[in-house]
């Protein structure tokens, strides 16, 4: 994993922007809107959980959303299901 964009979106090397399936955190990066309540905390939690980790991605039937992001379930090497951990 390269970096955390916000609480529900990450950048993965070789894949690009990945949206975590089933996770919807307050927005922090939309330049047209202010940061939503608890957005910074959600981003920080995802960053602590995933940054610097190797992760295994599993895909659903729909592999991309309408914004072109890859949709995935994210699993850490220790078996932690990151999507559920964030929710």
Active site residues: 19, 27, 69
Q: With beta carbons less than 8 A apart as the criterion, state whether 9 and 3 touch.
A: no
Q: With beta carbons less than 8 A apart as the criterion, state whether 75 and 12 touch.
A: no
Give the torsion through C-alpha atoms of 18, 21, 68, 43, to 10 deg.
Answer: -50
């Amino acid at each position: 994993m390269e970096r955390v964009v916000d609480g529900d979106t990450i950048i993965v090397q070789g894949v690009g922007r990945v949206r975590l399936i089933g996770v919807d955190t307050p927005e922090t990066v939309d330049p047209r809107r202010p940061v939503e309540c608890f957005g910074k905390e959600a981003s920080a939690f995802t960053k602590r959980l995933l940054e610097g980790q190797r992760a295994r991605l599993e895909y659903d039937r729909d592999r991309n959303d309408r914004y072109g992001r890859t949709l995935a379930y994210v699993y850490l090497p220790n078996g932690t299901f990151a999507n559920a951990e964030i929710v």
